[in-house]
């Protein structure tokens, strides 16, 4: 009797082991985010699943199909062969993945006009008779730089702790947010012991497989060019890499908020503060444009304002990598509230496209309303290309006449009538800010 029960005791023991394996797998899947370790865990779990089927083929087939012992044995062998194939061929991807290319794309300088047209001073003078609001200028931005290391200093290299999820060599600490292209994590670089923001992009989720490699190569080239930009108003890129099919950018970690929070009528920034924000974005764009880089995706979510008042523009180069490719659905990712007319028309874009997008952001910050809106994508695109926006004073009467003039110039649909460089727009904004500060000082002295 004991001899007859012993096989079932062994089967029950094996079943317990499989249950424990499943529990460990569920725990491990939560710990590792999209890296090679996570992919390896999934592969091993599929391998174990086929072994489970082969071990319990007697039980399953005896209850479902009356097969002979030879047939059951053949099915067992089939499942075990499938398990070996999964492990062998699935494991090949860990040895044949392509490294990121280091080839740099050619940098084409933009035709930037250096001359600044004479600003309409009458508009500024007219503001003297307008009511002044209490303004709180932002603190002067402080440029920070990474500390230099002496030749005799040694960096302590730490191994990545496997108690936390990882991506490449970076530890994942928490999720910061999700966007159209991927997830942004707060991470730590164990080699330099510094916090980083890690933006992940899985191109295979949105683009056809025959396009993915081309898009990845373009993405890495753009990232290398952008990583060489050094400006206080542009987020510094530390590293770019790939972990299986998950591409990522490791950037400086910022303590601040993006401008989306300040685009509602309940949380608008003071007008003077919004002008400072626009000035700093102009400085970032002017520097990037002079180095042949067009952002192509200027919007509140890509502009960070730090606690000390410094403004940082993020995501340079990402939009260009996917600009010439269609998603699997054949439509534009996201709603193009901030796109320029030439982007929507499929024309070649230069720095003036970023200026138009900045004009929309500036309008949004001052009014809490979008200049171009609609019930669907076609309506929004029609407004951007053919309809003039409502005067911003309709939503915020406190906006100064000179500010309206700057907005109108930035939002010109004609490239020739628009600001020809971010420096032009920035200079006019600085002139407006200077006049406002003078009026405020004059009103306090009276």
Hey, which residues are catalytic here?
Answer: 297
CA angle (251 as vertex; 245, 156 as ends), nearest 5: 95
Q: Can you spell out the DSSP letters for 362-429?
A: HHHHHHSS-SS--SSHHHHHHHHHH-PPPPGGGT-TTS-HHHHHHHHHHT-SSTTTS-SSHHHHHHHH
Structure tokens at 198: 């890690």
The residue count for the chain: 446
Q: Return d(Cα 341, Cα 162) in angstroms, integer.
A: 49
The whole-angstrom separation of Cα 156 and Cα 222 is 31
- Whether the CB-CB separation of 45 and 29 falls below 8 Å is answered with no
The Cβ-side half-sphere exposure at 209, using a 13 Å CA radius, reads: 1
How far is 207 from 75, CA to CA, in rounded Å? 39
Q: Any idea what DSSP says for residue 446? A: -
Number of helices and strands (H, E) in the chain?
14, 9
């Amino acid at each position: 009797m004991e001899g007859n029960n012993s096989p079932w005791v062994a089967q029950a023991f094996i079943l317990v082991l499989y249950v424990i394996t499943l529990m460990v797998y569920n725990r491990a899947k939560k710990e590792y985010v999209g890296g090679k370790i996570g992919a390896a865990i999934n592969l091993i779990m599929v391998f174990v699943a086929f072994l489970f089927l082969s071990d319990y083929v007697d039980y399953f087939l005896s209850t479902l199909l009356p097969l002979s012992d030879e047939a059951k044995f053949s099915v067992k062998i089939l499942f075990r062969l499938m398990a070996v194939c999964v492990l062998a061929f699935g494991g090949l991807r860990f040895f044949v993945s392509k490294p990121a290319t280091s080839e740099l794309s050619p940098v084409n300088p933009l035709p930037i006009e250096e001359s600044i047209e004479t600003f309409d001073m009458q508009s500024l003078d007219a503001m003297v008779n307008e009511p002044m609001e209490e303004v709180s200028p932002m603190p002067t931005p402080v440029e920070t730089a990474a500390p230099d290391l002496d030749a005799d200093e040694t960096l302590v290299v730490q191994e990545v702790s496997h108690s936390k999820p990882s991506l490449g060599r970076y530890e994942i600490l928490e999720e910061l947010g999700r966007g159209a292209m991927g997830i942004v994590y707060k991470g730590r670089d164990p080699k330099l012991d510094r916090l980083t923001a890690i933006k992940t992009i899985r191109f295979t989720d949105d683009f056809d497989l025959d396009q993915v490699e081309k898009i990845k190569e373009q993405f890495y080239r753009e990232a290398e060019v952008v990583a060489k930009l050094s400006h206080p108003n542009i987020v510094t890129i530390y590293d770019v890499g790939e972990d299986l099919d998950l591409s990522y950018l490791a950037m400086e970690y910022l303590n601040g908020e993006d401008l989306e929070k300040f685009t509602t009528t309940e949380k608008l920034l003071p007008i003077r503060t919004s002008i400072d924000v626009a000035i700093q974005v102009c400085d970032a764009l002017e520097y990037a444009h002079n180095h042949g880089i067009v952002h192509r995706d200027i919007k509140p979510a890509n502009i960070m304002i730090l606690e000390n008042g410094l403004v940082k523009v993020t995501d340079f180069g990402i939009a260009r990598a996917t600009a010439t490719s269609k998603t699997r659905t054949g439509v534009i990712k996201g709603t193009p509230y901030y796109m320029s007319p030439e982007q929507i028309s499929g024309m070649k874009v230069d720095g003036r496209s970023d200026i138009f997008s900045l004009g929309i952001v500036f309008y949004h910050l001052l009014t809490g309303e979008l200049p171009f809106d609609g019930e669907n994508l076609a309506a929004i695109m029609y407004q951007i290309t053919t309809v003039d926006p409502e005067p911003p004073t309709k939503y915020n009467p406190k906006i100064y006449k000179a500010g309206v003039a700057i907005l109108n110039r930035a939002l010109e649909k004609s490239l020739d009538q628009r600001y020809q460089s971010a420096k032009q727009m920035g200079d006019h904004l600085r002139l407006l800010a200077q006049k406002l500060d003078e009026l405020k000082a004059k009103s306090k002295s009276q």
